[in-house]
Amino acid sequence: MKITAKMFFYICLFLIVMVGVYWWTSHDPTGTAALVMATGLSGMIAYYLYFTARRIGPGPDDRDDAEPHEGSGEQGFFSPTSYWPLVMCIALAMAFLGVAIGFWLIYFAAPFAAFGVYGFVMEYYRGENKHY
């Protein structure tokens, strides 16, 4: 995991330089803001991966002599079927459309987004998928 953290750290450093170069050559605030956000996102991912790598220790991807089968096994839990991301995407699409059309649409999208977040979080605490 340390190699992945280093990769995202180098991407973050590259984007820091590119933000300055892009702003200096184009004076475009929209593209500069997008590059700043990409820099922040890559920095957050690099920090998370570095923090996790320190906590769990080196994995097979950190060693040069590792075999592919050493990384096998359970990688985590992933929902097989869930409709809550669709509800959230529709609500957020309505909210972003509200920025373009009119701010009043955001007021209608916010309850649907809250309902989608609630359903997504509580998906495995009730119903047939309940975990005991």
Residues 6 or more apart in contact with residue 109 via CB below 8 angstroms: 91, 92, 94, 95, 98
pLDDT digits (tens, 9 = 90+) for 19-48: 999 999 999 999 999 999 999 999 999 999
- 132 pLDDT exceeds 60? no
Reported as half-sphere exposure (CB side, CA atoms, 13 A), residue 40 has a value of 6
pLDDT digits (tens, 9 = 90+) for 69-79: 877 777 667 77
How far, in Å, CA of 66 to CA of 105, rounded?
A: 53
The domain locations on the chain are: 2-71, 84-129
Give pLDDT, residue 129.
64
Contact of 8 with 42, CB cutoff 8 Å = yes
How far, in Å, CA of 122 to CA of 84, rounded?
A: 10
